[in-house]
Amino acid sequence: MAATRFHRVVIFLLFAITVVNYIDRAAISYAIPAIEQQLGLSKAAAGTILGAFGLGYAVTTLIGGFAVDRYGARIVLSIAAVLWSLSIGLTGLASGFLTLYLARTLLGMAEGPNFSAVTGAVERWLPPARQASALSYALVAVPVALACGGPIVTQLLAALGWRGTFAVLFALSLVWVPLWYFLFRDDPAQSRHVNAQELAFIREGQKAETAPVRRWPRMSEVRVLLTNRTLLVNYWAFFVFGYFLFFFMAWLPSYLQQSYGLNLAAVGAFTVLPWLCAAVALWALGRWSDRLLRTTGRLRVSRSYLIAGTQLVAALAVVPVAFSASLPVAIACISLAVAASMGANAAYFAVNVDIVPEKAATALGIMDFCFALAGFVAPVITGFVLSLRGSFADGFALMAVLALSSVVLVLAFHRPDEDRAIP
């Protein structure tokens, strides 16, 4: 009997919810000029609101990793998706700075466990040699969402205004929840859609014990996750990736409007290319990472060098943007920077599984906590700089410095082959 392929359905469900996740969190970046005008917000206030997501995200992304290891991805992600749908609805009802800030904070808190759940699900549903590829399929949803989200959200804004747009997004976000809850199981062996042949494929290379760990991590286990040099560097590199992502996700529409005088429809069109390039890079490099692992057997080659190389390209790509007044040059360099910074995304996630497979979701929660801090810092610093100087140049320069620091640290200390044997 041929093996079933239900693991592909699982990956598609993870892809779909991540698309919803990122359209929801990025929609405000297109709406913020209208919100600023209607609610009388300054650039600094707008940056603080955009950064509120990161604060809420930081609160629950770490707890979310623990919760996924304790309760499983099925229940955690179901509850999270309901809560962030409600927060999107509340965003459309906001009447001032405080209510908008609280709604964005709630959205961050609700979305915090998402990638811990993705990592936990992939660890259960794919053999180790296929996990980076599977993560790349799920994670490619991020740039896909941001690419298609720009035109979709700008059209909704033009037709319905910002309040109506968030009402529509609220309704769409709820559709996924019953599909996930009724189709997914934390243990593939408990799924009626998986036959013995597919289960054998999933179990290939995994430890014999595959049932979800039903306890919170001990402090000794957390200490290991906070002292392993490869994981520590991975956390910093992911912070830098997050800074790039949140900078462009939060401020790219405003940058294009302010620097080149584009209208809302044109902004939506011009934001498509960077995120499409990122989608292709993430998908291709995720597959390449697993291929390198299969052919070389070395995590240093398949993970570390990929991370260092992509961040070096990203650092070099943003420098011309700070000094060029040409829209084609800016779009080309931004597209390269976004694609490079996101290209190794699956490798960051896979490192957690490579080093600590039994606590991959918890390790991802710590890594995603650093990502959440970037989600707060990048919008707030950029909004503050804009309120002082009215220029994005300083923001691009800071991004280049951060990426170069990551390259140096990864080349010096990111040694997953040596550090994977955790006592």
Concatenate the DSSP letters of all residues of 240-260 into one string: HHHHHHHHHHHHHHHHHHHHH
Q: Which two tokens stand for residue 47?
A: 């940056």
For residues 423 and 373, the model is more confident at 373
Contact (Cβ atoms closer than 8 angstroms) between residue 285 and residue 332: no
Query: Looking at residues 380-408, what average pLDDT do you find?
Result: 86
Q: Which two tokens stand for residue 274?
A: 């960077």
Within 10 angstroms of residue 90's Cβ, the number of other Cβ atoms is 18
Contact (Cβ atoms closer than 8 angstroms) between residue 310 and residue 338: no
pTM for the full predicted model:
0.74
In the structure, what pLDDT confidence band is assigned to residue 211 with cuts at 50, 70 and 90? Answer: very low
Within 10 angstroms of residue 128's Cβ, the number of other Cβ atoms is 17
- Distance, in Å, from the CA atom of 338 to the CA atom of 356, rounded to the nearest integer, reads 29
- Distance, in Å, from the CA atom of 173 to the CA atom of 20, rounded to the nearest integer, reads 6
Contact (Cβ atoms closer than 8 angstroms) between residue 302 and residue 287: no
- Distance, in Å, from the CA atom of 234 to the CA atom of 398, rounded to the nearest integer, reads 20
How many helices and strands, by DSSP H and E, does the chain display? 20, 0
Query: Looking at residues 319-325, what average pLDDT do you find?
Result: 86
Read out DSSP for 12-26? HHHHHHHHHHHHHHH
Q: What is the pLDDT of residue 1?
A: 65
Amino acid at 345: N
Tell me the three state secondary structure of residue 192. coil
**Residue 339, C-beta contacts closer than 8 angstroms, at least 6 positions apart:** 274, 277, 278, 280, 281
Environment class of residue 239 by beta-carbon count within 10 Å: exposed (0-12), middle (13-18) or buried (19+)?
buried
Residue 207 has pLDDT above 70, yes or no: no
Average pLDDT, the chain: 85
Contact (Cβ atoms closer than 8 angstroms) between residue 275 and residue 283: no
- Distance, in Å, from the CA atom of 207 to the CA atom of 156, rounded to the nearest integer, reads 48
Tell me the three state secondary structure of residue 261. coil
In the structure, what pLDDT confidence band is assigned to residue 215 with cuts at 50, 70 and 90? Answer: low
Cite the DSSP H helix spans in 72-140.
Answer: 73-92, 97-111, 114-125, 131-139
N-terminal to C-terminal alpha carbon distance within the chain: 41
SS3 breakdown of the chain: % helix, strand, coil, rounded to 5?
A: 85, 0, 15
Environment class of residue 404 by beta-carbon count within 10 Å: exposed (0-12), middle (13-18) or buried (19+)?
middle
Instruction: Tell me the C-alpha to C-alpha distance, in Å, between residue 367 and each of 338, 364, 386.
Output: 20, 5, 29
In the structure, what pLDDT confidence band is assigned to residue 422 with cuts at 50, 70 and 90? Answer: very low
Helix (H) or strand (E) holding 209: none
In the structure, what pLDDT confidence band is assigned to residue 236 with cuts at 50, 70 and 90? Answer: very high
Q: What percentage of the chain carries pLDDT values higher than 70?
A: 95
Question: Shortest CA distance to 362 belongs to which of 371, 373, 353?
Answer: 353
Q: Which two tokens stand for residue 243?
A: 């800074």
